[in-house]
């Protein structure tokens, strides 16, 4: 993994590392592994955490997810979010991300907003850039849409808003109007997320429009037409080393930031 990341390091602005919750117990020392990786690879890294806390809705309370990650679930290791965030300081990363992913149960809007706002305040107090990562699937459900809106309202000091899961059914199926569906979804995102702070995550998944070069260019271009110019590729060296992606990403025009 280290060798692969070193080769791709010059191509991307940053690489994301996810630190799993404290209740997801494994043998590896994440801090030591992460510090070694950062030292070997160099460049910028984003250190991400899933929601952690003691209210019971957070990802740290999701036993099924822990087991899918081949981790032992130990609920006694649950800690308040500020205590958990202190452990992120041991890793040399200038940007932290809070990813609302697979909580044990869907939080109430005020619960999620409070957790996200606390994360941003803590990150800023440690002189870190703060990113909030959300699922665009929320716009298809009234309850989740309100939750997403509240999170964005409570985190206006965040530096970035990352959006994943933009593949609605029509986009996923590659219908003729998938670009129109994507445009509508981007409009909803930009209603709560400033375009200059917005990051769109996608993957070169064979089931999605970005499965090939033409589809990826169309996907990126649709976002750029809305004024969005930041992207996150959900991938890793094994996929990137395959054709056509090896040449495609290496030859994309570079923009210094």
Domain total for the chain? 1
In a domain, 78, yes or no: yes
Assess if residue 193 is contained within a domain: yes
pTM above 0.85, yes or no: yes
Q: CA–CA separation, 195 vs 191, rounded Å?
A: 9
Does residue 162 lie within any of the structural domains? yes
Among the residue ranges 3-17, 171-185, 211-225, 242-256, the one predicted with the least confidence is 171-185
Q: What is the dihedral of CA 89, 94, 100, 105, to 10 degrees?
A: 0
Could you give the CA distance from residue 75 to residue 60 in angstroms, rounded to a whole number?
8
* 27 compared with 109, residue with greater pLDDT: 109
- Whether 257 is in a domain gets the answer no
H or E segment to which residue 19 belongs: strand 15-19
In a domain, 255, yes or no: no
Full domain range(s) for residue 47: 2-250
pLDDT tens profile 162-220: 999 997 666 666 566 788 889 999 999 999 999 999 999 999 988 888 999 999 999 99
Residues 6+ apart with CB under 8 A from 246: 240
CATH code of residue 13: 3.20.20.80
- Mean pLDDT rounded to a whole number for the chain: 93
Residue 256 lies in a domain: no
């Amino acid at each position: 993994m280290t060798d692969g990341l070193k080769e791709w390091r010059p191509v991307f602005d940053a690489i994301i590392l996810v630190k799993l919750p404290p209740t997801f117990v494994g043998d590896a020392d994440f801090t030591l592994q992460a510090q070694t990786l950062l030292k070997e690879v160099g460049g910028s890294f984003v250190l991400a955490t899933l929601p952690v806390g003691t209210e019971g809705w957070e990802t740290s309370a999701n036993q099924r997810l822990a087991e899918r990650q081949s981790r032992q679930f130990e609920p006694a290791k649950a800690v308040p979010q500020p205590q958990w965030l202190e452990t992120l300081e041991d890793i040399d990363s200038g940007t932290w991300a809070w990813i609302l992913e697979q909580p044990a149960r869907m939080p109430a809007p005020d619960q999620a907003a409070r957790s996200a706002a606390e994360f941003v305040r803590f990150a800023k107090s440690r002189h870190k850039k703060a990113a909030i990562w959300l699922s665009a699937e929320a716009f298809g459900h009234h309850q989740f849409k309100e939750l997403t809106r509240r999170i964005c309202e409570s985190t206006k000091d965040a530096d970035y808003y990352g959006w994943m899961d933009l593949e609605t059914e029509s986009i996923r199926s590659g219908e003729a109007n998938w670009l129109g569906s994507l445009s509508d979804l981007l409009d909803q995102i930009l209603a709560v997320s400033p375009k200059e702070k917005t990051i769109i995550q996608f993957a070169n998944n064979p089931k999605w429009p970005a499965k090939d070069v033409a589809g990826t260019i169309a996907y990126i271009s649709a976002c750029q037409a809305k004024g969005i110019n930041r992207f996150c590729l959900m991938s890793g060296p094994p996929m990137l080393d395959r054709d056509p992606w090896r040449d495609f990403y290496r030859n994309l025009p570079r923009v210094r930031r």
